[in-house]
Amino acid sequence: MKKLWRCHVCNDVHLGNKGPEVCPTCGARNAFVLSDRAEALEIIGEDHPVIGTPQEVVAAWRQFADQSPTVRLTEKDEEVELLSQGVLENRNTKGQRYCPCRITSGDLRKDLGLICPCNFTRQRTYREIGECWCGLFIKRDGT
Amino acid sequence: MSENRLIWFHGRECPHCRQLRPVVERLEKDNGLTITQLEVWHDEENAELMRSYAQAITPACGGELGVPAFYNEVTGKAICGGRITAEQLLEWAKG
């Protein structure tokens, strides 16, 4: 099971098999110490902003795609809007921003893999035609 | 319970499902077919039915359940994905 880690310099929180060598927030090296759920939740706080509007969902997708050398967001704005509404519907009714083009199994551990963006690079559509299942993320030319 | 239907499992916010709608409607009209449309994200009963056909639908979708997916209750054959053509649909419907 992945563990929680806390940067002892700036309280950056990380979930993973080990803490990052360099803290992505403050730059401290070898600064992560084993943490736990209660401590991590306390650091995150109750007032942490939610991604709760279609605009905020799309902004998160754009941030993800803009930093990626391999994928971009589709230019079909209407589809982006429809999908952003879908993931928010799913958050409201199923608890997470699940992909509106897949379907949950009811097994939470398994369904966490359906949160958008999912790990679409393993999907058949991405391998064969360079698109995630929904056509939201497209492989960049020449990659 | 099997009712020998041709079923289209779709999602209300799935772009490929939206694009396929006129293709499905034309197919029904031109061939005298009835395809039962079941939305799976806003109707848990439909989702449960789709899961009950997972053995056939999952491989057709490339390893995970997804929409748009078509299931023929007579033949047990499923096709799945955003690039389904009218020809593929007709072949699926006729078994």
- Return the SS3 of A88: helix
| Contact by Cβ (8 Å): B68, B16 | yes
Nearest-CA residue of chain B relative to A136?
Answer: B15
Dihedral over alpha carbons A47, A51, A55, A59 (to 10 degrees):
100
* Type of residue at A39: E
CATH 3.90.460.10 holds for A54-139: yes
Q: Is residue B1 part of a domain?
A: no
Tens of pLDDT, residue by residue, chain B (95 residues): 557 999 999 999 999 999 999 999 999 999 999 999 999 999 999 999 999 999 999 999 988 899 999 999 999 999 999 889 999 999 999 98
Q: Could you tell me the CATH number of the domain that includes residue B71?
A: 3.40.30.10
Task: Choose the mutation target among B10, B17, B41 for the interface with A, i.e. most A CBs under 10 Å.
Answer: B41
Q: Is residue B63 part of a domain?
A: yes
In whole angstroms, give the CA distance from residue B3 to residue B76: 12
Residues B50, A103: C-beta atoms closer than 8 Å:
yes
Q: Is residue B45 part of a domain?
A: yes
Domain chopping of chain A, boundaries = 3-44, 54-139
Domain count across chain B: 1
What number of C-beta contacts closer than 8 Å exist between A and B? 72
CATH number of A3-44: 2.20.28
Q: Are strands B35-39 and B6-10 parallel, antiparallel or unpaired?
A: parallel
Dihedral over alpha carbons A77, A72, A132, B14 (to 10 degrees):
-10
Q: Which residues 35-64 of B have a C-beta within 8 angstroms of A?
A: 40-42, 47, 50-51, 62-64
Residue B80 at interface with chain A, using a CB cutoff of 8 Å? no
Residues B14, A90: C-beta atoms closer than 8 Å:
no
Report ipTM for this prediction: 0.88
pLDDT tens string A13-27: 999 999 999 999 999
Quote the domain boundaries for residue B61: 6-94
